[in-house]
Amino acid sequence: MANVTVIGAQWGDEGKGKIVDWLASRADAVVRFQGGHNAGHTLVVGNEVYKLSLLPSGIVRGTLSIIGNGVVLDPWALKSEIAKLEGQGVAIDEENFAIADNCALILPIHGELDVMRENAAGAGKIGTTGRGIGPAYEDKVGRRAIRVCDLAHLDTLEPQLDRLCAHHDALRAGFGQLPVDRAALLDALREIAPSVLRFAQPVWKRLKKVRKAGARILFEGAQGVLLDVDHGTYPFVTSSNTVSGTASAGSGLGPNATGFVLGIVKAYTTRVGAGPFPTELQDETGERLGQRGHEFGTVTGRKRRCGWFDAVLVRQACAISGVTGIALTKVDVLDGFETVRICTGYRLRGKILDYFPAHAADQADVEPIYEEMDGWAGTTAGARSWADLPAQAIKYISRVQELIETPVALVSTSPEREDTILVRDPFAD
């Protein structure tokens, strides 16, 4: 049985939570391999709604859930999220949850720097969530991060604090802020350390053991390929690689472990924050998509921008990330539209493009080329087989997979876990 890697193939918010939950019920371990607590997943299990931003989605079902070394971990956010889930009856202990001991930490100074920079950026704002993810990754790459394993050695942390504060104090001075309060930071770390260290371990060893036993591993990505720091709409991106290859580096398992790559794709397009968006609809149709799709961020509550499906972007994302098959979500949001549109190419200053250019100025200037299709009067909501779908909805889905050059493996027709049409079982490949 194959392992499965789940990634978003648009700008995030594709409905990964439901799909990951559906897959997690059949997996033996679920691994988060990048990102931080800016990634929101909503799970609906029976009458209970769980909102996760850091914990792997398998945790609500008791599946072994692991935060890999590629994640930047806010220990205070983790403690709060665990307490919230435990209040909903979810059991979280050392048997079903583990954190990589070489995981870099998000500290309060990272969030402060994030907000200071964004507030001072003027027209250069990139729409950060202000949670410190970017500055934490910068410190990791700059070799001045404090990691989970350091929480067990706080009495010898001074040399690392010297490196960290030398960098941050200079930045804070530029914003007119006081230097880092080292004593307060150490006190905060001493207080939070036991909440994190109880779960800390070399998770690569545990995953190696799980894999050797023939168990099924689900790698859970955050955000989407179009927010990848290399392949996304730079600089309006996140601070990590969101493509499927990161599952290997961010978990400690080799690239041959990532298995079937499932790209989650919404039946239309949304984006949060600033950045290019060729098919954005700033009219009644865009409002209708947003209202019907409940397009507000799980973590931030920010309203999402909405537009027609962009086959060019999704085809590019699938190619870059080696997607084996897609899970098409929120098809039911398109119910009742008289016509629906799909972007099949771009015009850029008189030239036709079949890809999204890298430069921000070109990205801002592209004009979408649309293909129009008849909509459907019937409903797809709650459908669990092809026979339950209107004929025109099936035509739309078929055209999507043709244009993105990637087959549909799953179709989601509501937030409910069982309202899913299985075309190809990722775990059976």
Could you read off the pLDDT of 66-106 as tens digits, one per residue?
999 999 999 999 999 999 999 999 999 999 999 999 999 99
How far is the C-alpha of 367 from the C-alpha of 363, rounded, in Å?
9
Mean pLDDT value of segment 239-247: 94
- At 419-429, the pLDDT tens digits run 999 999 999 87
Q: Single out the catalytic residue among 37, 41, 168, 231.
A: 41
Catalytic residue flag (residue 41): yes
Mean pLDDT value of segment 390-414: 96
Rounded to 5 degrees, φ, ψ at 281 are -115, 110
User: Three-class SS of residue 380?
Assistant: coil
pLDDT at 247: 96
Cis link prior to 235 (omega < 30° from 0)? Answer: yes
As to burial, measured by CB atoms within 10 angstroms (0-12 exposed, 13-18 middle, 19+ buried), residue 29 is buried
| Residue carrying structure tokens 């006190």 | 187
User: Three-class SS of residue 319?
Assistant: helix
How far is the C-alpha of 295 from the C-alpha of 272, rounded, in Å?
9
Please state, rounded to an integer, the average pLDDT across all residues of the chain. Answer: 93
CB 22 within 8 A of CB 426: no
Tokens at 327, concatenated: 């899970």
How far is the C-alpha of 142 from the C-alpha of 313, rounded, in Å?
32
pLDDT band at 152 (very low <50, low <70, confident <90, very high): very high
pLDDT band at 264 (very low <50, low <70, confident <90, very high): very high
pLDDT at 348: 97
pLDDT band at 299 (very low <50, low <70, confident <90, very high): low
Mean pLDDT value of segment 142-154: 97
CB 111 within 8 A of CB 121: no
> Residue 372 to residues 331, 336, 341: CA-CA distances in angstroms?
16, 15, 5
* Long-range pairs of 169-174 with CB within 8 A, sequence gap ≥ 24: 171/113, 172/112, 172/113, 172/116
Mean pLDDT value of segment 131-152: 96
pLDDT at 300: 62
pLDDT at 109: 96
Interstrand relation of 104-105 and 72-73 (parallel, antiparallel or unpaired): parallel
CB 426 within 8 A of CB 2: yes
pLDDT value at 388 more than 90: yes
pLDDT value at 277 more than 90: yes
What single letter denotes the amino acid at residue 407? P
- Positive or negative: CA dihedral 64, 69, 74, 76: positive
CB 326 within 8 A of CB 426: no
- At 43-56, the pLDDT tens digits run 777 788 888 889 99
User: Three-class SS of residue 264?
Assistant: strand
Closest CA to 266 of 232, 243, 294, 230: 294
Query: What residues contact 187, with CB distance under 8 A and at least 6 apart?
Result: none
Tokens at 403, concatenated: 């244009």
pLDDT value at 134 more than 60: yes
Mean pLDDT value of segment 283-290: 94
CB 29 within 8 A of CB 44: no
Interstrand relation of 260-266 and 325-329 (parallel, antiparallel or unpaired): parallel
pLDDT value at 409 more than 90: yes
pLDDT value at 294 more than 90: no
How far is the C-alpha of 70 from the C-alpha of 189, rounded, in Å?
21
pLDDT band at 1 (very low <50, low <70, confident <90, very high): low
DSSP bridge partners of 50: 43
DSSP bridge partners of 371: 342
Catalytic residue flag (residue 13): yes
pLDDT at 20: 86
Q: Which residues of 73-89 are buried (b: 16+ CB within 10 A; e: fewer)?
A: bbbbbbeebbeebeeee
DSSP H helices, 42-176, are 75-87, 108-120, 133-141, 158-174
pLDDT band at 298 (very low <50, low <70, confident <90, very high): low
pLDDT at 243: 96
pLDDT at 144: 96
What single letter denotes the amino acid at residue 383? A
Q: Which residues of 103-134 are buried (b: 16+ CB within 10 A; e: fewer)?
A: bbbbbebbbbbbbbbbeeeeeeebebbbbbbb
Q: Single out the catalytic residue among 13, 28, 101, 310.
A: 13
